């Protein structure tokens, strides 16, 4: 169950971030995101990166209370959420 959550949370963040920026897929989808919304997504990516770095460097203090596998799962989920937010900020592609 934990492994599934590690994958589903970043996927959900990426989908919601992309929908927030460009709208849901379809004919009404925007090709350019408003600047304020892009700043929100980039701000969330920066905060996620900083929290992941702080968690990585302070894991010796909080990992005993969670356990080593859960601490690794939290760190991995943070990295994947960061990647999902940065991927969501990419403009949608029409041709593959």
Report the distance separating Cα 37 and Cα 70, nearest Å. Answer: 32
Q: What pLDDT is stored for residue 67 in this prediction?
A: 79
For helices 68-88 and 2-22, the axis angle rounded to 10 degrees is 20
Query: What is the rounded average pLDDT of the residues 53-73?
Result: 81
Cα torsion through 31, 82, 19, 29, rounded to 10 = 10
For helices 35-57 and 2-22, the axis angle rounded to 10 degrees is 160
This prediction has a pTM of 0.80
Question: What pLDDT, in 10s, does the model give residues 12-59?
Answer: 999 899 888 888 877 777 778 888 989 999 999 999 999 989 888 888
């Amino acid at each position: 169950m934990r492994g599934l959550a590690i994958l589903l949370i970043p996927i959900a963040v990426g989908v919601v971030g992309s929908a927030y920026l460009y709208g849901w897929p379809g004919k009404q989808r925007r090709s350019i995101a408003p600047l304020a919304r892009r700043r929100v997504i980039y701000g969330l990516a920066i905060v996620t990166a900083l929290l992941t770095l702080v968690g990585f460097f302070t894991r010796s203090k909080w990992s005993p209370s969670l356990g080593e596998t859960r601490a690794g799962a939290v760190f991995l989920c943070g990295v994947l959420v960061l990647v999902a937010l940065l991927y969501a900020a990419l403009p949608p592609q029409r041709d593959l």
